[in-house]
Chains A and B, each alone.
Chain A
Amino acid sequence: MSAVLRAENLVRILPGEVPVTLVNDISLAIERGEFICIMGPSGSGKSSLLYLLGLLDVPTSGQVWLDGEETSRYGEDDLANRRLEKLGFVFQFHFLLAEFTVIDNVTLPIRRLGRLNASAARARGLELLDRLGVVEQSAKYPHQLSGGQRQRVAIARALANDPLILLADEPTGNLDSASGGTVRQILKDLAHEMGKTVVAVTHDASFAAAADRRIGIVDGKIDADWRPG
């Protein structure tokens, strides 16, 4: 099976006095190297779906297969290890640690994984920053950077442990159109040139236009799933 990420009958209900169904019986399979956009109106459940696919959240029922492994039997620590090794996240707000320099932010996941020593981790971080065109900023703090630069640093950090899949939640939602275009191009190149699987949630139509495959979500269900052109 070539699907790198697969979901089967995913349901996520937010418990409470009035339970809210965020994701309602979604099944899908994502192939290696795909650049996928999940689209939908606010509150449609597209972010919740992304959190379930990214093992950040646990489904009420249904299964997620990551790289051939069924994940529902995993505990919190096992899920954290999968996130560390196989997944990378980019969020709408860059979420860099304000008190750490750019290079320290990028090497955080590498050092947590602990496979590279400090100098090798730094070299890898600089290489990633270079590839994303922000290597000159490596010694700066996040507040000294522009929004587009921060988001590129965030992408570098998401790529730090060479993940299989990059998950992005509104990566261009907080950027002007020029920076947004750059970020979109970077994500597309990651999928097409480096073979990363990129899953992005967005309601930016121009971003969606660049994707290989678009999935529309309405009220927690898949409304449309198509590959343009």
Chain B
Amino acid sequence: MRIQLQVALTHLTGRRRQTLVSLTGVVLGVAFFLAVSSLMRGSEQDFIKRLVDNSPHITVSDEVRRPRTQPAERRGIDGAVKIRNLKPQTETRGIRGYREKLALIEAAPGLRVAPVLVGSAVLTFAGREEGVTLSGIVPKTMKTVSTIQDKMIAGSLDALDVNPNGIVIGTGLAEKFNLGLGRNLTVVAASGASRAMKVVGLFRTGNASVDETQTFTLLKRAQVLFERPNRVNRFLIQLDDAYAARAVAHRIEDATGDKSVSWVEASEDILSVLVVRNIIMYSVVAAILVVASFGIYNTLSTIVLEKTHDIAILKSMGFHARDVRLIFLFEGVIIGLIGSLFGLAMGAGLMHVLSLVQIKPPGVSEKVFLPIWWGAQQFALATAFAMTSCILAAWLPARRAGRVHPVEILRGAA
């Protein structure tokens, strides 16, 4: 063992109680750091998961962001012709040539796509009318891009295939109309076409506006109702890797010319709130470790004062200032390492306990578990924070110890 390390260990074991207090500070700091950050990161991921899973990762719609390059401009050489105030043609008839584009998107790996025709309709039942959004879907593909199948509480999406005149509605709407599975209602499209449809499925997402205004029917039926045969106006896309959405959306927009919006783009404000929240959380938990590092500073400063004679004798026998500094830095590192080790264990224990806690938020019927993120990243971060604050706390006493001048001490003692 290096002699400096041995001296460091002797100092720490010689002042067991104070060492233990400093150690406890680091252990608690690391443990709380872990528990709080795992909870916050867990809730963040839970939040993003809901955000991501409840809506498509990418929505391709029949809007065009940029007008097409005009033939006149293409003919002109280097800006000889410039057309100003050009707007994309308002195109409400749906995605042009959707089958080719669908095939193009489907060919890409790691994604699932569903074509949808979305329009407005009015539902009439027993003299009541409600305006809703009616989506024409293909049940087989819709199930792969949406969680709607999991939210069904009666009937199913597949029932649409069996009954072409079927409609799936939310529980909110069903309560308003006071109707149940198997009842008939009238659907009137904006064009004036109307049709009697049978409720073949009920869903509940927990989001009131979705449950009250979203309805689903077969794509073919919607095309007839909206008088837009062979058209869709949305592609809903779900990716294996949700975080690739921005890049994939970009590629799709480049290839098809249709506006593709990823969930990242659609939820930028929420994501930036999460970043701010993380910064606040990390500053608070890091503050715990800063407080703990004052304990270490205090202990090591006391040791330096107490051991001035020892330091003087070590220097007189030929120890360098660097050796003496190293002794006290070692003491900081030892406290940091042992403290981190026990802190990580205790933090993991706290995380386990927290993950068992069940809470029932007001107004929610199901009990939920606290979301805990077990990522290795935060274990590393907690250790790094602890080690940095320990070494910083040891640095000042170490520097003071390195400056001890043996002759001054010897003169004082003689």
Contacts and interface: CB of A to CB of B under 8 A. Distances in A.
Contacts of A108: 3, 314, 317
Contact of B406 (A56, A85, A97): A56
B319 A112 contact: yes
B318 interface: yes
Given A80-B318, A80-B320, A91 B11 contact: no
Contacts of B406: 56
A80 B413 contact: no
A84 interface: yes
Given A100-B10, A169-B414, A57 B314 contact: no
Nearest to B15: A99
A47 interface: yes
A76 interface: yes
Binding site of B, secondary structure by majority: helix, strand, loop or mixed?
helix
Interface string A48-80: 000100101100000000000000000011001
B414 A92 contact: yes
Report, as a range, how many residues of chain A touch the other chain: 20 to 34
Interface string B323-340: 100000000000000000
A214 interface: no
B316 A56 contact: yes
B319 A57 contact: no
B321 interface: yes
A109 interface: yes
Interface string A87-119: 111011101011110001000110111000000
B174 interface: no
A157 B318 CA distance: 12
Nearest to A173: B414
Nearest to A79: B318
A80 B11 contact: no
A146 interface: no
B14 A83 contact: no
22 contacts: A47-B411, A54-B316, A56-B410, A57-B407, A80-B318, A80-B319, A80-B320, A83-B317, A83-B318, A84-B318, A87-B318, A91-B414, A95-B312, A95-B313, A97-B313, A108-B314, A109-B318, A112-B3, A112-B318, A112-B323, A158-B317, A170-B414
Q: Which 10 pairs from chain A and chain B are nearest by CB?
A: A84-B318, A83-B318, A111-B3, A95-B313, A57-B407, A99-B14, A99-B10, A109-B317, A80-B318, A80-B320
